[in-house]
Amino acid sequence: MDLKSKIILIYGPTASGKSEFAIKLAKKIKGEIINADSMQVYKDLKILTARPLKKNYQKINHHLYGFQNGKRSFSTGDWLKLAIKKIYEIKNKKKVPILVGGTGLYFKALVEGLVEIPNAPKVLRNKVRKLQKEIGQQKFYEKLLKIDPSIIDKIRSTDVQRSIRAYEVKSFTKKSIAEWYDDTRPDFNKKDFHKLMIDFPRQDLIQRINARTIEMFKNGVTLEVKSFLKLRIPKDRSISKAIGVSDISEYLKKKTVKESVIENISIKTRQYAKRQMTWARGHMMSWKKIKPNQLNNFLKKA
């Protein structure tokens, strides 16, 4: 298996053991690891977001973990620019870039390229939304086809959000949203990637999630969230929406008990894992699925 010439992508649901597997693979093929998880880029909440601890790095270089201030917005585009830079840096050292995480949009942007369409002014966006609401979706879609007939096979007539977005883009840029997508080019060829998706049996994953949530509390996640809340990071920031922040906040106010918090966080994490795998089924059909019991065999062949 010629992995040393590839950019390796490892995707999987939360608590599936991605980070541990990535470290073992990096040791085998002289790789360095790049984070592809949207929560683990932030400095805060390393326990709650299950960020790999430095003591567990096992002398493998890790990049894009815990560097971003939670008060600042951080987009997929921001991550993509940094990730591409790190990939080239690692390759220049004659090492193998290994990207690992559970944020599907990050991987999609890396493999397919990121469409950077200019944002329409708020006045125009409001005007388009008002129009759609006033005349209804069917008539709105008919108007959209008149100004942009090229989307007829790309956007369903019942898809309200994408119809509105296409109307905004065409009105503001005078260019079809389909053209924006067609003009997008990724930095790498698809053959440059070796794409792996850890396909964890759901019942086993539920047990792992439950155990990890309990472990978080043993490791001091309550104090971590208490310190985080003192930073007064706005609630609309991504890090403030991390699973567990609101539940532990209620616990700190003595509005609930620890057992309920653990149960709620476990449930929300399981729901998130389900969404991650739903994303994978829709966007990662070409990725190689690998079961947990196949990981060691993969490492032997690497």
Map out the domains of the chain as residue ranges.
7-113+187-301, 122-182
Q: Which CATH class is domain 7-113+187-301?
A: alpha beta
Whole-number pLDDT of residue 183: 80
pLDDT for 149 beyond 70: yes
Q: Kindly state the average pLDDT of the residues 14-35.
A: 96
pLDDT for 182 beyond 70: yes
Q: Tell me how far apart the alpha carbons of residues 224 and 229 are, in angstroms, rounded to a whole number.
A: 9
Right CATH for 122-182 from 1.10.20.140, 1.20.1180.10, 1.20.1250.20, 3.30.420.40 = 1.10.20.140
Q: Kindly state the average pLDDT of the residues 145-151.
A: 95
Q: Kindly state the average pLDDT of the residues 19-38.
A: 97
pLDDT for 220 beyond 70: yes
Give the CA-trace dihedral at 113, 287, 284, 84, to 10 degrees: -20
Q: Kindly state the average pLDDT of the residues 285-293.
A: 95
Same fold, 7-113+187-301 and 122-182: no
CB 197 within 8 A of CB 290: yes
Q: Kindly state the average pLDDT of the residues 218-244.
A: 96
238-273: per-residue pLDDT in tens?
999 999 999 999 999 999 999 999 999 999 999 999
Share of the chain above pLDDT 90, in %: 89
pLDDT for 1 beyond 70: no
Q: Tell me how far apart the alpha carbons of residues 283 and 114 are, in angstroms, rounded to a whole number.
A: 15
Residue 94, token pair as written in the block: 């004659």
Whole-number pLDDT of residue 55: 85
Whole-number pLDDT of residue 2: 82
